[in-house]
Structure 1
Amino acid sequence: AGENVDTRVEPASITKVMTSYVIAAEIASGKVKNEDQVLMSERAWREGGARTDGSFSGFPVNQRAPLHDMEVGMAVQSGNDAAIALAEHVAGTQEAFADLMNSYAARIGMGGSHFVNAHGLSAPEHYSTAHDLARLGQAFIRDYPEAYAYNSIKEFTVNGITQPNRNLLLWRDPSVDGIKTGHHSGAGYCLMSSAKRGDQRLIAVVMGAGSERQRADDSLALLNWGFRFYETHKLYEPGKPVAQLKVWKGKADQAQLGVTAPLLVSVPRGRYAELKPSMEVPKSLVAPIAAGQPVGTVKVTLDGQVVAQAPLVAIAAVEEAGFFKRLWDAFWMWWESD
């Protein structure tokens, strides 16, 4: 469900979800570590600290703190100072970090977004869309669940100051575990939220609400509507064959194809039986085939629209056969192609 989902808007502090995603990705690649000591620079303190009108974490200026603590301060307290300090630590400058944000946004598929800072305060050419932010939330939960979990923390203390998480839904509904609030005069009150009930997870994005309460009420209404009228099914699991394909010149004559991650689909309740799966694969393969090698795509449609898709890969390797088997298969490949 959506309204004006692709309209460019100011994302305010929801920007920090993109910042968190980049940091998690850089940690995963080994470029930074949770144990790194991050400097609260003069610039970070002046532009995002307690003397500004925005939200802050309160880390002392010109002192260092573990990256993990800074990131939790950014996620829970929405600290602009922590966001700038983290950006400087990861990329040298906030401007260079913004380039990283845009690079990762492109990989996620956020075609309607552009970032120029790590905190989300109003700036020319800093924008996103509700649709893109939903994609970002989905990617964050899927790719870096440990970092995502920081968003469910209800309060955090820095330098003797305890501040609560501004996401009111964390107190209203136990199924809600994130994600991020945002607010400034140009953006209004914003909330990217997510909840998991059973095996089903949904994401809601509300932008430009009139108050903190309204963004929470509207978000919970969207989530409740989604859980009431939609159901989620796991169609395929990793490591289990979805299909098999003929292999030429291999020690085995068939390659088992499967998915690398669970393929889930959410559909209107009662319409699961109407789903139609299809596969786009070549007619045959030629060995050697490596385990995990992409081979094709599985797609699932409802009413002619693709509702889920995933790459198909070889579950196990198929080694190249000996000389005579390869020669024999080469003959039959020629014969069948004639």
Structure 2
Amino acid sequence: MPRNFTGLLAALGTVFGLCLTPLGLARAEALETPARQAVLIDLSTHTVLFEKAADERMTPSSMSKLMTVYLLFDKLAKGGVKMTDTFTVSEKAWRMTGSKMFVHVGDKVSVEDLLRGIIIQSGNDACVVVAEGMASTEDAFAAQMTARAKELGLKGSNFKDASGWPNPDHYMTARDLSVLAQRLIEDFPQYYPMFAELKFKYGNIEQGNRNPLLGAVPGADGLKTGHTEDGGYGLVGSAVRDGRRLILVVNGLTSMKERSQESSRIMEWGFREFQTYTMAKKGDTLAEAKVWQGDEEAVPLTVAEDARVTLRRVARAEMKVKVVYDGPVPAPIKAGDVIASLEITAPDMVTINLPLVAARDVERQGVVGRIFSSLRYLVSGDAS
């Protein structure tokens, strides 16, 4: 009968050098922040570098405008509207207070201008124009926002308006905002550069982008700030350097200055303290697994896709790696079958298990071969 085997990864230093460590947080000075909610993610490996109350319901303020933008981007991408199409400004939109694009009743405003009015100027009035233009009423549009949020996997979000106007039933989580930011970046690369624009002029009124990361943090290119009395000062930010993209969400800060300082500090910390490493490339042979009743005694193990991890730079010294599988693996085996995992551990870090697949086919032995294999196992315990 097959037995359980746990094989150490052979020639670890030769295969990976000093590049292997597990996902998670290594033993080091913990990051602290006055933000009530926060999350920092390395998008290249979907690694959470830091989080604080990331799943707590919070007032997202104008950061929830990102969902309004998402729905409009999606409509554009599917051909439902064009940048040159116009929506008409209602009295309700015109009467919106707070941050404004300064549209006027009866104006016919292009989709392109409205997008910049939301993204750059954080216009509450522009959000209402978009909501009414796409769904007749803002209430109907808010229902669409909530429905789409569920489709995107935003588990802690509910929308009651298009702008983030205070409402006790309008809420999101920091983690949901990070997922939404990721989807905006990945789903709409053709439109995403709007978030990096520094200023926009409409109706002879020029306003600057409120995002404090732009121009202050190298590689910063988005996304959105927010502020209400209940929510405090918040930001959804992103920056990319050397192929690494970080997404940051902070909320509940006490001032614009604190928001600017904290968001820059945490973003720089993420780039400085962590690094993303390629552990193995597709096709690399990492180890072998014993085979039960196959025409070969072992099958080489590899990764189906390039395997990358983001890790604390100080974690490598205490990293441990082993190959784990339930074996011998019964034949037949097809190339690409997941038959093992690469287990990576270190103190105070989350264990990561990467799937390992068969690098080639292994056919089953014929009847005679299977008989001899069974007899050998009965006599010697050798299941190969």
TM-score of Structure 1 vs Structure 2, range by shorter chain: 0.7 to 0.9
Aligned residues: 299
The structure-2 alpha-carbon separation of the partners of 1:179 and 1:265, relative to structure 1 and needing over 3 Å to count, comes to: farther
Q: Distance in 2 between matches of 1:177 and 1:268?
A: 24
**Alignment of structure 1 residues 1-338 onto 2, 5 Å:** 1-46=50-95, 48=96, 52=97, 54-233=98-277, 265-269=309-313, 302-303=344-345, 305=350
Letter in 1 for 2:84: E
Once the two structures are TM-superposed, the CA of residue 178 in structure 1 deviates from its matched residue by: 1.2
Q: Distance in 2 between matches of 1:263 and 1:277?
A: 15
- 3-state SS of the aligned residue for 2:191? helix
Contact 2:84-2:111 at 8 Å conserved across structures: yes
Q: Distance in 1 between matches of 2:136 and 2:174?
A: 30
Q: Distance in 2 between matches of 1:183 and 1:25?
A: 26
CA RMSD of aligned residues (A): 4.2
- 3-state SS of the aligned residue for 2:222? strand
- 3-state SS of the aligned residue for 1:2? strand
The structure-2 alpha-carbon separation of the partners of 1:284 and 1:32, relative to structure 1 and needing over 3 Å to count, comes to: farther
TM-score (ref. length: structure 1): 0.73
Larger mean Cα displacement after TM superposition, 297-306 or 1-10:
297-306
Larger mean Cα displacement after TM superposition, 97-106 or 121-130:
97-106
The structure-2 alpha-carbon separation of the partners of 1:64 and 1:270, relative to structure 1 and needing over 3 Å to count, comes to: same
Between Structure 1 and Structure 2, which shows a larger proportion of helix residues?
Answer: 1
The structure-2 alpha-carbon separation of the partners of 1:285 and 1:123, relative to structure 1 and needing over 3 Å to count, comes to: farther
TM-score (ref. length: structure 2): 0.65
Once the two structures are TM-superposed, the CA of residue 192 in structure 1 deviates from its matched residue by: 1.0
The structure-2 alpha-carbon separation of the partners of 1:276 and 1:145, relative to structure 1 and needing over 3 Å to count, comes to: farther
- 3-state SS of the aligned residue for 2:190? helix
Larger mean Cα displacement after TM superposition, 137-146 or 228-237:
228-237
The structure-2 alpha-carbon separation of the partners of 1:274 and 1:217, relative to structure 1 and needing over 3 Å to count, comes to: farther
Q: Distance in 2 between matches of 1:107 and 1:298?
A: 32
Contact 1:20-1:147 at 8 Å conserved across structures: no
Once the two structures are TM-superposed, the CA of residue 173 in structure 1 deviates from its matched residue by: 2.1
Contact 1:133-1:192 at 8 Å conserved across structures: yes
Letter in 1 for 2:185: I
Once the two structures are TM-superposed, the CA of residue 195 in structure 1 deviates from its matched residue by: 1.1
Q: Distance in 1 between matches of 2:275 and 2:57?
A: 30
Q: Distance in 2 between matches of 1:145 and 1:308?
A: 31
The structure-2 alpha-carbon separation of the partners of 1:134 and 1:155, relative to structure 1 and needing over 3 Å to count, comes to: same
Q: Distance in 1 between matches of 2:200 and 2:113?
A: 9
Once the two structures are TM-superposed, the CA of residue 154 in structure 1 deviates from its matched residue by: 0.8
**1:234-264, CA deviations, whole angstroms, 9 ceiling, x for partnerless residues?**
6799xx7799xxxxxxxxxxxxx967xx875
Contact 2:121-2:209 at 8 Å conserved across structures: yes
Once the two structures are TM-superposed, the CA of residue 155 in structure 1 deviates from its matched residue by: 0.7
Once the two structures are TM-superposed, the CA of residue 108 in structure 1 deviates from its matched residue by: 2.3
| Residue 7 of structure 2: aligned partner | none
Q: Distance in 1 between matches of 2:207 and 2:54?
A: 32
- 3-state SS of the aligned residue for 2:234? strand
Once the two structures are TM-superposed, the CA of residue 307 in structure 1 deviates from its matched residue by: 6.2
Q: Distance in 2 between matches of 1:184 and 1:102?
A: 21
Moved over 3 A (4+): 233-237, 240-243, 262-265, 270-279, 283-286, 295-310
Contact 1:277-1:300 at 8 Å conserved across structures: yes
Q: Distance in 2 between matches of 1:194 and 1:308?
A: 28
Contact 1:32-1:90 at 8 Å conserved across structures: no
Once the two structures are TM-superposed, the CA of residue 141 in structure 1 deviates from its matched residue by: 1.2
Q: Distance in 1 between matches of 2:162 and 2:207?
A: 20
Q: Which runs of 5+ in 2 are unaligned?
A: 1-49, 286-302, 326-330, 358-365, 371-384
Q: Percent sequence identity over matched residues?
A: 35
Contact 1:263-1:308 at 8 Å conserved across structures: no
